[in-house]
Amino acid sequence: MAGPRVLVIGGGLAGLSATMRLAELGIDVDLLSLVPVKRSHSACAQGGINSVNTQTRQQGDNEWKHFDDTVYGGDFLQHQPPVKEMAEWGPRIVDLMDRLGVPFNRTPEGFRDQRRFGGTLYKRTAFAGATTGQQLLYALDEQVRRWEVAGKVKKWEFWDFLQPVLDESGRCRGAICQDLVTMEFRAFPADAVIVASGGCGLVFGRSTMSMVCTGSAVSRCYAAGAFYGNGEFIQVHPTAIPGADKLRLMSESARGEGGRVWVPKTPQDPRDPRDIPDAERIYFLEERYPKYGNLVPRDIATREIFNICTNEGLSVEKDRLCVYLDLTHIPKETLDRKLGGILEIYEKFQGVDPRFVPMKIFPAVHYSMGGLWIDYERSASGGLVEGSPRNQQTNIPGLYAIGECDYQYHGANRLGANSLLSCIFSGLFVAPGVVASCDEAKKSEPGPQLMNDALKAQEKRHAELLSRPAGGENPYDLHDELGKLMTRTCTVVRRNDQLAEAYEAVCALEQRWQKCSLSDTGSWTNQNVVFTKALGDMFPLAKLILKGALQRDECRGAHYKPEFSMPGIEADDPAERRRLAEEWCDRFEENTKKWLKTTVARHGDDGHPVLTYEDVDTSIISPRPRLYGLVGGEVIEEVWRERQQARAQAAPQPATVGAGG
Amino acid sequence: MIRVADGQGDKNGVASAAEASASKSPASLRVRVLRQDAPGRESYWECHVIPYEANMNVISILQRIAARTTTEDGRKVAPVAWDCNCLEEVCGSCTMLVNGRTRMACTALVDRLLEEQPEEIVLEPMSKFPVVRDLMVDRRRVFRSLERVKAWVPIDGSYDQGPGPRISPEDQEDAYPLATCISCGCCMEACPQFTKVEVSRLAGESQEAFEARRKEAFDKNFLGAHAISQAMLFNSHPTGKMIADERMEALTDRGGIQMCGNAQNCVAVCPKSIPLTRSIARAGRAATLWAIRRFFDR
Ligand SMILES: Cc1cc2nc3c(=O)[nH]c(=O)nc-3n(C[C@H](O)[C@H](O)[C@H](O)COP(=O)(O)OP(=O)(O)OC[C@H]3O[C@@H](n4cnc5c(N)ncnc54)[C@H](O)[C@@H]3O)c2cc1C
Ligand code: SF4
Ligand code: SF4
Ligand code: FES
């Protein structure tokens, strides 16, 4: 009997780190990707990767605080043990990447330099120029190439994952994939399949993501019965450069290095921004959030920018919404050294030098916190049991998900520079559990019939698509419509009437997709049919995102419904303030009871998502109000603290898990 | 669609690209594409006319062509095949010849191209790599070169061993630009010493035998400037240099540094402005020293 064999779908940071670790554990890996793995979307990450480090530690930082910032930033929607484990691994992961040769920026003494990112008070973020993701990706790509030469890894680049194959017991036994060049179909029997296919930004048309971020791979797992968690949580990045083909990110590091966001006091002030004196500018983030300033968490920055443009009418331009992001007060040399790469992007695409002229930016869809539902095994200390086959496993045994395509770690909102960490962490951490799962798989071998049947079904589906009559719907136009609809109704501000309408509209688009015709019916490098398939698989995701958003009647992290927002306290009278704060806290507790739940979507037989809600493991840090800059936040916090103390006295608890560790 | 011109900085003469062209922007663009249906087929030219929009790049042209698939003379055709992913010049996918020059399609801004050549925009696949279809080429060889020079740090394993070596800011600043190589192939396309290697599978040949034969063909031929530069990158890393000799072996083997005629075409076209000639010069010196050392070690 051959040794264990694992199929990894996707070679971004997550897929590559899993491949490297598995190869090291002696497993043969097939690594399959739509694009050469070195060209994966992870290359786009600019800002950096978070972990506690020697320096922040001496300023009072520790793994616990990183863990706490992550769950607080995520509005407590994530299960805590995986996050705790990840924060503890952080320093080791950055050390490892350092050893792999990532050219992290250095201090004069030769240590790794760190910067501060949103949602924390410490300089926790290590970075390599302005292309940290690229550098991390390359370092892992190099190690995997080494394993390829050694014969442990076989790469399948320009291949499309079409479906996982499940046996009668419901276990995943491999996958069917298609060569994008020859269009040949092939069955990949495997003892375990790991999906590491990244985000699904293309469901929103234009986003900051790369062109292969269609979500097709996860949608295909979902269609095969995998659950999808927290789909409605989509992060909209506050600062992107609007473009015709793509919304290009302006990294948070621009604000990390001191960039200031402002609009002129006079709406659409026609003056050159540099001629507008400070007194005639509104630095609205600094004014409203004195503690965090321009570095408030993403969801808040996004809403404020959106709000100042739409509701307050202070957009810099009349016909295109945008605000200024200003770096011009920072010395050119500092900018070149710390932000060279990202400023170059602005200059390359806008033809303006941001070192001398304030940039114009607006929010854009950026990250999917939701993704394939995955399991974990909690350890006694509140972390994870290393080597458990349950870690990162979907509800389908033998099918795993890691990286941006899983729903773990970031809850309702991801903190900047935490994703590169979660991708590498989940990739490394999943490996020993997958080895254990392979042992399980080896106990029985399915016959060849299973794979053959699935292969035939895919070939048939393909042939049907190619033989659709000409003159039908145009897939590119449908995608454009879908993107506009989703962006309009389901990003920064969500309203139930609009979401309900959008759901109907998406169903109608899906119907029209059935009548798509292909402009290429050939059998060689047919990008048209590949795109059309991926588009078809966007509708189920769009539907679960919309339905999740529609049903979730609250505000949490990136999910914001004005109808359910909990405004701050404006009253001046102390007694009145107390009373209102008590009320606020009552409402908060009620809402927590009702909505602090993972949305779990299952693909219904009628094509509509079936949603259920699952409790979140908040046993380590109990949920508290997220009060970044809320008016009257002090009095709410006071009342909240008193309640917590009263509760602690009423039921003395054994000391919780390793605070500080 | 009307888009507002980016009116930043006009007073101080830092005019935006959109603005500079606003006055003379055409209503439509004529795009001529060199197409090829599959390897070994004849190539042919095809013309498309698409409406002009502000702030377009070559990618958005190709997206419009894919959506319309109608040529200038009204024929329905299959969409043009091409490679892209990031759309921000960091993945290295979209290399092609635009108006005869090798470059990245995503940063080839239409307004700039019109300044170069107002009549039409000409798109061709790279000539040094086998065409897969239309503008898509097979760049496996770019990655094979990275294997040849062992472009990696030879770590013991991925378990925790503490941080990597301390590195001075100067060394980091030296290494970082080399590490930004996106494997796009521009430097190879422009290099007179880098010639096309196209190997096709023979009738009855197994996939394994074919792959071995292709690898052999790659290994006889020039590595390319990118791989020489990567070899220098890893030879200067404190851990990477532990296998410096192995890299020197590859660099001085057939298809190695001796093939470089120092034409310096490569550095001129690199979209990441990587100091390739500096790497090549370093590699040349290192190769000489290495040859001497080898001579005395015998
Ligand atoms: C512009 C930008 C900047 C960012 N900056 C930061 C930052 O500074 N810090 C941070 O922490 N995070 C950042 N992020 C987020 C972070 O980059 C991503 O979350 C992360 O890179 C995702 O990695 P991944 O390995 O999960 O997937 P990806 O890198 O997206 O890789 C997915 C892989 O799956 C493959 N694939 C997909 N579908 C299929 C299919 N159907 N068949 C076969 N293969 C398939 C693809 O080919 C690819 O290889 C940024 C994101 C963006 C968009
Ligand atoms: S310098 Fe060498 S590698 Fe560069 S173009 Fe000339 S011959 Fe080619
Ligand atoms: S050295 Fe420059 S031109 Fe050559 S592959 Fe790398 S990025 Fe491209
Ligand atoms: S699309 Fe990535 S470099 Fe052009």
Domain covering A237-364 assigned CATH 3.40.50.300 in the classification: no
List beta partners, residue A30.
Answer: A7, A154
pLDDT at B24: 67
CA distance A229 to A407: 6
Q: What is the DSSP string of A298-318?
A: HHHHHHHHHHHHHTS---SSS
The pTM of this model reads 0.94
Q: What is the mean pLDDT of each run of 10 residues along chain A (661 residues)?
A: 91 98 98 98 94 92 96 96 98 98 96 85 91 97 98 98 97 98 98 98 96 98 98 96 88 89 95 95 94 85 91 88 95 88 84 92 96 98 97 98 98 94 98 97 91 97 94 95 94 96 98 95 96 98 98 96 93 95 96 97 97 97 88 93 91 48 33
> Do residues A403 and A13 touch, judged by C-beta distance below 8 A?
yes
**CB within 6 Å of ligand 4 — which residues?**
B 84-87, 89-94, 104-106
Q: Which of A131, A243, A350 sits opposite B16 (nearest CB)?
A: A350
Mean pLDDT, rounded, of chain B:
91
Backbone angles phi, psi at A622, to 5 degrees: -80, 145
Report the residue from A244, A348, A525 with minimal CB separation from B53: A244
Q: Closest Cα to atom 6, ligand 3: which residue?
A: B181
In total, chain A counts a number of residues equal to 661
Sheet holding A5-9, edge to edge: A153-157, A28-33, A5-9, A192-195, A399-401
Single-letter amino acid code for the residue at B105: A
* B92:A39 CB<8 A: yes
Mutate to test the interface with A, among B83, B85, B171 (most CBs of A within 10 A): B85
pLDDT at residue A510, rounded to an integer: 98
Residues 6+ apart with CB under 8 A from A17: A140, A423, A424, A427, A428
Q: Which residues line ligand 3 (CB under 6 A)?
A: B 181-187, 225-226, 229, 270-272, 274, 276
Q: How far apart are CA A229 and CA A33, in angstroms?
A: 24
Spatial distance between the Cα atoms of A526 and B159, rounded to a whole number of angstroms: 42
Q: What is the nearest CA distance from A66 to chain B, expressed in angstroms?
A: 20
Tokens of A552: 């979730």
pLDDT one-digit tens code per residue, B125-180: 999 999 999 999 999 999 999 999 999 999 999 999 999 999 999 999 999 999 99
Residue A13 structure tokens: 């940071």
Place of tokens 């264990």: A4
How are beta strands A114-115 and A172-179 bridged, if at all? unpaired
Position B23 pLDDT exceeds 80: no
Cα-to-centroid distance, B177 and ligand 3 (Å):
11
- For β-strands A153-157 and A125-126, DSSP reports them as unpaired
Say if residue A606 is exposed, middle or buried (CB neighbours under 10 Å; 0-12, 13-18, 19+): exposed
> What does DSSP say about strands A125-126 and A597-603: parallel, antiparallel, or unpaired?
unpaired
Q: What is the per-residue pLDDT for B41?
A: 96
- Say which ligand is closest to the CA of B92: 4
């920072």: which residue's tokens?
Answer: A330
Q: How far apart are CA A287 and CA A13, in angstroms?
A: 38
Where are any strands of DSSP class E within A321-429? 323-326, 359-368, 371-372, 399-401
Helix axes A475-489, A527-536, angle to 10 degrees: 30
Q: Which domains does chain B have, with CATH numbers?
A: 26-136 (3.10.20.30), 139-154+168-296 (1.10.1060.10)
Give dist(CA A398, CA A226) in Å, integer: 11
Token pair for residue B251? 């660099």
Contact A272 B4 (CB under 8 A): no
Residue A383 in tokens:
């972390």
With an 8 Å Cβ cutoff, are B164 and A40 in contact?
no
**Terminal CA-CA length for chain A:** 44
The reported pLDDT for the residue numbered A244 is: 78
Domain with CATH 3.50.50.60 in chain A: 5-233+369-451
Q: CATH fold of A467-551, please?
A: Methane Monooxygenase Hydroxylase; Chain G, domain 1 (1.20.58)
Euclidean distance between CA atoms A24 and A27, whole angstroms:
7
- In B167-194, which positions are buried (b, 16+ CB within 10 angstroms) versus exposed (e)? beeebbebbbbbbbbbbbbbbbbbbebb
Interface test with B, best of A55, A132, A134, A532 (most B CBs within 10 A): A134
**To the nearest 10°, the Cα dihedral for B224, B230, B235, B237?**
170
Q: Which atom of ligand 3 is nearest to the CA of B226?
A: 1
The residues of A assigned a catalytic role are 298
Q: What residues of A are in contact with residue B234 (Cβ under 8 Å)? A: 101
- A441: tokens are 């798989």
d(CA A561, CA A648): 33
Atom 2 in ligand 3: which residue has the minimum CA distance? B270
The tokens for A273 are 């921004």
Question: Using CA positions, which residue lies closest to atom 3 of ligand 4?
Answer: B89
Secondary structure class of B33 (helix, strand, coil)? strand
Cβ distance B161 to A358 less than 8 Å, yes or no, reads: no
d(CA A512, CA A316): 39
Which positions in chain A touch B152 (Cβ < 8 Å)?
101, 142-143, 145-146
Q: How far apart are the first and last CA of chain B?
A: 72
- Cα of A103 to ligand 1 centre, how many Å? 20
Query: Kind of pairing, strands A281-282 and A192-195?
Result: unpaired
Residues of A with Cβ-Cβ distance to B91 under 8 angstroms = 35, 39-41, 43-44, 210
What number is the ipTM of this complex? Answer: 0.93
A5-233+369-451 belongs to which homologous superfamily?
FAD/NAD(P)-binding domain (3.50.50.60)
Domain with CATH 1.20.58.100 in chain A: 467-551
For residue A246, the CA-to-ligand 1 centroid distance in Å is 16
Q: Record the tokens describing residue B51, joined without a space.
A: 């409406």
